[in-house]
Chains A and B, each alone.
Chain A
Amino acid sequence: MLRYICIRILSMIPILLGVSILVFATFHLVPGDVVDIMMGDEVAGDPKVLMELRKELNLDKPVYLQYLYWLWDAVRGDLGKSFTSGKPVMEEILHRLPVNVELMIIAIAFVILIGIPMGMLSAYKQFSFLDGIVRVATIMGYSIPNFWLATIVVLLGSLYFRWLPVLQYVPFSENPLENIKCMVIPGFVLGLTTLSYIVRMTRSSVLDTLRQDYVRTARAKGMTEKLVLFVHVLKNSLIPVITVLGIQIGVLIGGLVLTEEVFVLPGVGRLILLAIEQRDFMIVTGSILFIASVFVVINLIVDIVYAFLDPRITY
């Protein structure tokens, strides 16, 4: 197991390098350079200032050197300075990160705590009324765009229930209770699509496992249905669910941008959106590199969880 974890950690390095090259290339190999894009239509920038800026960003050096400088800084946690605010990008990200982390935790908790039991129940009572409702609800669930649902929730909240805290973010450190109040709904909305996938996956996986010979063996040993379900079926059925959850975390991260936008929460997603609008590419590259790296690490964790669940995995 330890060897497997080490190998997986090492195999992360080329992926991270690839990610950094892609991010770098996207922003540095387009026609013109960052400075041109940044200035946009305002052609009349002071040439001296532009030169300074190019020098500071190492744009006067060959491309591969630019990349290496950039990468070296990034590895040390320096993602450059924002063009607009002048603050280090890393500081901007870390300042907003708690919002994202909290939203993700709420969404994932919601998905796991409701999705897995619901999927199991639906499978165990296959063809029942409940199963029918769950199946229809999940198909609907992943057809609803979460930004629309968020919009409607805000609409209903403010218009009909006079329930305004939705749009007033309170940091956790200031007032934990108020903070959770304004984060729970966005978290649920964010998790809804994923919840539908997880319920469906759990359901089909449990159904598949229930048909396996070893479940019959467990019953033939005289195990109670509870033991059969929670000892023999659950662990086996979670294996494919974990894979789907890993993929879905990427979807959730994408959804964060939209959720933050609609609920006006000051997270990294809104930071990126604002930066794109203001052509602050240091923030955009930095944030995307940061989030992609976090995602790579999350995937690593999912893989390790997977290996713990399935002893057949060998490397």
Chain B
Amino acid sequence: MDEKKENGEILSPSRLAWMGFKKHKLGIIGSIMVIILILVSLFSSVVAPYDPLAMNPKDSLRAPCAKYWLGTDRFGRDQLSRLLYGTRISMEVSFGAIAIAIFLGVVIGLISGYYGGILDNIIMRLLDILFAFPLLLLALMLVAVLGPSLENLLLTIGFLYHSRFARIVRGSVLAVKEKEFIEAIRSVGARDITIILFFILPNVLSPVIVQATFNLSTAIMVEAALSFLGLGTQPPTPSWGLMISESRRFMELAPWLAVFPGLAIIFAVLGFNLMGDALRDALDPRLSQR
């Protein structure tokens, strides 16, 4: 399936991928953006000038100024600090959810692809059912039942996204399974679990990484959207989506409250998308049709 790579080059595949990635200028920019996001979320308590929850009614709805760079909301809470803490929430939810999704998806995909047959058929039909729902709608439904909270949001997004990983892993396993080296390993009597973990899994990782990067960006979007609708992160926790939602009541008085959280979402989504594009081009050009 992928025998078309130029042989004769002495470079290892990972080195080649790194070289491809380095060439991608936008990818480098994207990675820097992602690193900034991760640093901010790890050290939000250090970089934030104020306590994001501290109310200060005297300074309510201040426009951006020297004291409050991005202004304050109706309770006089510093917008910048809330944005920075919001980064942490956003990263927590998206990384946590995608971690769950990858775990579930990889396990299901490996089993389904490796064993094939009726089991594979059943699993794939079940996943088809998940794909039959518009994603946000399914999320709404699950959150409505589970009740709005950060943990439920994380679980919901994780559950929703696992199907994507499962499909991709299954596809890659099917391709790898037929390779001669798997046949060779099986012929010396290796157990299934050994073959799956040590020989198949490493070969399906790169599409998973690419998919994960893109899904991180959409998970950020879904988290923000659900929080915006009041079904995700609950006040007073600072979350980008929630901040936009709250800003709508004071739109004419304090338009800056609507602008900055949106820019933060764009920054995050853009960072992961750019990085994902570059990773995809470097690791797996065949994935370019999503």
A interface, CB within 8 angstroms of B = 14-16, 18-19, 21-23, 26-27, 30, 37, 139-140, 142-145, 147-149, 151-152, 154-155, 158-159, 201, 204-205, 240, 243-244, 249-251, 253-255, 257-258, 261-262, 272-273, 276-277, 281, 284, 288, 291-292, 295-296, 299
Q: Are B259 and A30 in contact (CB under 8 A)?
A: no
For the A-B complex with A21-B129, A139-B277, A257-B140 known, give 18 more contacts whose Cβ atoms are closer than 8 Å: A19-B129, A26-B141, A139-B274, A142-B273, A143-B269, A144-B266, A145-B224, A152-B258, A152-B259, A240-B289, A243-B289, A254-B225, A272-B140, A273-B140, A276-B140, A276-B144, A281-B144, A291-B137
Determine how close the nearest CB of chain A comes to the CB of B41; give it in whole angstroms: 18
Which of A21, A142, A255, A284 meets B144, CB within 8 Å? A284
Interchain CA distance A28-B141 in the complex, whole Å: 12
**B228 in contact (CB, < 8 A):** yes
Determine how close the nearest CB of chain B comes to the CB of A243; give it in whole angstroms: 8
Q: Are A159 and B229 in contact (CB under 8 A)?
A: no
Q: Which residues of B contact A254 (CB under 8 A)?
A: 134-137, 225
**B262 in contact (CB, < 8 A):** yes
Q: Are A26 and B142 in contact (CB under 8 A)?
A: yes
Interchain CA distance A238-B213 in the complex, whole Å: 27
Q: Are B133 and A295 in contact (CB under 8 A)?
A: yes
Interchain CA distance A204-B255 in the complex, whole Å: 38
If A151-B244, A295-B132 touch, does A288 touch B141 (CB 8 Å cutoff)? yes
Q: Which residues of B contact A204 (CB under 8 A)?
A: 288-289
Q: Are A292 and B145 in contact (CB under 8 A)?
A: no
Q: Which residues of B contact A240 (CB under 8 A)?
A: 289
Determine how close the nearest CB of chain B comes to the CB of A303; give it in whole angstroms: 13
If A291-B137, A299-B132 touch, does A258 touch B251 (CB 8 Å cutoff)? no
Main SS of chain B's interface residues? helix
Chain A, Cβ-Cβ closest to B26: A139
B interface, CB within 8 angstroms of A = 26, 125-126, 128-130, 132-137, 140-142, 144-146, 217, 221, 224-225, 228-231, 241, 244, 247-248, 251-252, 255, 258-259, 261-262, 265-266, 269-270, 273-274, 277, 288-290
Q: Are B128 and A151 in contact (CB under 8 A)?
A: no
Q: Are A23 and B141 in contact (CB under 8 A)?
A: yes
Interchain CA distance A18-B130 in the complex, whole Å: 9
Which of B141, B262, B274 meets A284, CB within 8 Å? B141
Chain B, Cβ-Cβ closest to A293: B132
Determine how close the nearest CB of chain A comes to the CB of B223; give it in whole angstroms: 10
Chain B, Cβ-Cβ closest to A250: B134
If A155-B258, A291-B137 touch, does A143 touch B228 (CB 8 Å cutoff)? no
Determine how close the nearest CB of chain B comes to the CB of A285; give it in whole angstroms: 8
Determine how close the nearest CB of chain B comes to the CB of A293; give it in whole angstroms: 9
Q: Which residues of A contact B135 (CB under 8 A)?
A: 250-251, 254
Q: Which residues of B contact A155 (CB under 8 A)?
A: 251-252, 255, 258
Q: Which residues of A contact B248 (CB under 8 A)?
A: 151, 262
Q: Are B125 and A257 in contact (CB under 8 A)?
A: no
Determine how close the nearest CB of chain A comes to the CB of B210; give it in whole angstroms: 16
Q: Which residues of B contact A292 (CB under 8 A)?
A: 132-134, 137
Q: Which residues of A contact B261 (CB under 8 A)?
A: 148
Q: Which residues of A contact B225 (CB under 8 A)?
A: 145, 147, 254, 258
Q: Which residues of B contact A27 (CB under 8 A)?
A: 145
If A18-B125, A145-B224, A258-B225 touch, does A295 touch B134 (CB 8 Å cutoff)? yes
Q: Which residues of B contact A295 (CB under 8 A)?
A: 132-134
Q: Are A276 and B231 in contact (CB under 8 A)?
A: yes
Q: Are B273 and A257 in contact (CB under 8 A)?
A: no
Can you give 8 A-B contacts (C-beta < 8 A)?
A15-B132, A22-B130, A145-B221, A254-B135, A257-B137, A273-B140, A273-B229, A292-B134
